[in-house]
Structure 1
Amino acid sequence: MTSGIDDITDTGPNSTLPRRQLGRFLRESREANGFTLANAAKLVELSPPALQRIETGQTQKVRSQDVRALCELFGVNAEDTRSAIDLAALAKTQSWYHAYGGLYSTAFNMYVGLEAAARHLITYHEHVPGLLQTADYARAVIGAYPGFKDRDNVDRRVELRLKRQAIVTRRVNPVMLEVLLHESALRRVVGGRKVMVTQLRHLAEISKLPNVVLRIVPYGAGLIWGMPHGSFTVLGFDTTAKGEPVEPPIVYMEGGPSQSVYLEKPDEVRLYSDLASDIQSASLDDRQTRELIRRVTKEYERDQH
């Protein structure tokens, strides 16, 4: 599977990430309330092209009064309106490095919006990533975070996580997903051995999908590039008829309950793309990956008796 992000060109010094997220939010809010682009633009005294540029993240300086007017028109609550205005302010910054709220923030989950819009995902993890988790595995992971002990709260987050997986399993235009999974993810017992048996069987099944590539990085691979590195995801997006990216690729590093990091600078994206390629080269092939998953699954099954 190719990453779709080999040819990266610098698009300028300003971050596109906040305005892309803001544009998605405003577009989804407009469509959810039944407004056409032309009608919404007229009601807030913008031209349709101007509103379209805001919704597609092409306007660098988005006026807070326009965002407020659009949110009022679409019936957006006060908290999300403030978040939208904050994104408009961030759109004016000139920084390649972005640290936003934690993984479990409820409003404006930056990563979920990007993930849903992506066409290619290459991800390295040392635990089973959310897109491949079973409900019980996800419940164990989410429930382990401090402050997430309320059952209803955990169940709600598990439900949201499972809904995200539709981008992988849908029949029409599923995301191309390449998962590089360290062997420790198979060995680390999350939720108990019974949960692990079901989870590993799920990994074996979902890896059969034509849009999914799963490779295990064995302990024997050592330290790639001679250094430890945490989980990361490289996201690539659709291209135009001319082969240019509709949105520039980014790198995401999950911050858990702390801050998540997003990198947009082409050199930095290329660096992580190269790292992913080297990790893939050190990984087991399809047959070896399936054999290892099968072997570890049998070990868990024996331990249950």
Structure 2
Amino acid sequence: MPTPTLPPSTIPRRQLGRYLRDLRQEAGYSIANAARLIERGAGTLQRLEKGQAGRIRTLDIKALCQLYEVPEKLPMLLELVQAADSNAGDGGLWWQEYSDAIRADFELYVSLESSATKLTTFRPDIVSRLFQAANYARALDDLFEPGATAEQIEHRANVRINRQRIITRKRNPVPVELLVDELVLRRAVGGPRVMAGQLTHLADLPANVTVRLLPFTTGYPLGVATGPFTILDFDEATGEMPTVFVEGFRGNMYYDKAEAVNHFRSTFARLRAAALSPADSKHALRRMAREYKQ
């Protein structure tokens, strides 16, 4: 008898599954016990948590929220169920633009980022939070929310520091390919001293982070201007599929269809071929840092 084909583990299903798994673990239930108490099979709940459920029953989500005593999470989880249903035939693209999802979407990306085995990032607009020096990050935060309290400022700093541990930790730091457009380094944030510090920070990133600079002289290698994107790769044993994250002002896009991921990989390869070598990029970063100090 042939093995049934599982539906694609699309982003909304994966996010829903992550939330349900975390809520179950926080509540102290095993999969078997939780499934028994909502009168479902353990395999059904396991597929739901892995993002592999075919049909997602609203009644199951309501029962799990009641069991885990988190009724406040129900509206957000039901939004994800709706997104998963509408995403069934699109091959893995999810556009988020509803109020609850902005925070939820950030949590999803950080969750994916923290479990990735490799990151491939192109930023033509700003230094990514993962690679920001403290003063550069603070200058941006002051512009983004000038009335922030000391507690909010500290919270943002802690989030940034915790995220950066995946590339700074001593054991198994995540390898990163970072491609930065020169425009990012010429757009002053926080003044010359802050920019000098940020450029030096980029040049001094650990060896697992390969930084390449795309200089003005290359023009537009693709013939068009592409926006920022990050390719996240995962350990195949986890069942997680490679995913592309495209950050937007109103919402974010995720792609996990193989064709789309491969398109972004080839795009990055063409941009990388036009960039400076890692050694020349470090020299250029240090030279620009000295220019800001003058």
Question: Are the counterparts in 1 of residues 212 and 275 from structure 2 also a CA contact under 8 Å?
Answer: yes
**Cα displacement (A) at 1:261:** 1.6
> SS in structure 1 opposite 2:95?
strand
* Alpha-carbon separation, structure 2, partners of 1:13 and 1:46: 20
What amino acid sits opposite 1:251 in the alignment?
V
CA contact (8 A) 2:120 2:176 kept: yes
The match for 1:17 among 8, 11, 14 is 11
Residues 91-240 of structure 1: pairs in structure 2 closer than 5 A: 91-93=84-86, 94-96=89-91, 97-101=93-97, 105-109=102-106, 110-126=108-124, 127-145=126-144, 149-151=147-149, 152-206=151-205, 208-209=206-207, 211-240=208-237
Deviation at residue 226 of structure 1 after TM alignment: 1.0
Q: Which residue of 1 aligns with 2:242?
A: 249
CA distance in 2, matches of 1:227, 1:254: 18
What is the CA distance between 1:148 and its match in structure 2?
Answer: 5.9
Q: Which amino acid aligns with 1:50?
A: T
Q: Any unmatched runs of 5+ in structure 2? A: none
Alpha carbons of structure 1 residues 98 and 64: separation in structure 2 relative to 1, 3 Å: same
C-alpha distance 200-77 of structure 1, shift in aligned 2 (>3 A): farther
Q: Which moved more, 1:103-112 or 1:49-58?
A: 103-112
Farther-moved stretch of structure 1 (122-131 vs 173-182): 173-182
- Unaligned stretches of 5+ in structure 1? 1-10
Given that residues 9 and 51 in structure 2 are in contact (C-alpha distance below 8 angstroms), is that contact kept between their aligned partners in structure 1?
A: no
Q: 2:291 aligns with which of 296, 299, 304?
A: 299
3-state secondary structure, aligned to 1:251: strand
Q: Aligned with 1:234: secondary structure?
A: strand
TM-score by length of 2: 0.87
Q: Aligned-residue CA RMSD in angstroms?
A: 2.4
- Given that 1:148 and 1:154 are in contact with CA atoms closer than 8 Å, whether structure 2 keeps it comes out as no
CA distance in 2, matches of 1:179, 1:102: 30
Q: Is the 8 A contact 2:38 2:60 kept in 1?
A: yes
Cα pair 2:16 2:77 within 8 Å, conserved: yes
1:88 correspondence with 2:81: yes
Deviation at 1:62, TM superposition (A): 1.6
Residues 173 and 85 of structure 1: CA distance in aligned 2, closer, same or farther (over 3 Å): farther
Distance in 2 (CA, whole Å) between partners of 1:149 and 1:35 is: 41
The residue number in structure 2 matching 1:44 is 38
Q: Structure 1 residues 34 and 15 mapped into 2: Cα distance closer, same or farther (>3 Å)? A: closer
Higher helix share: 2
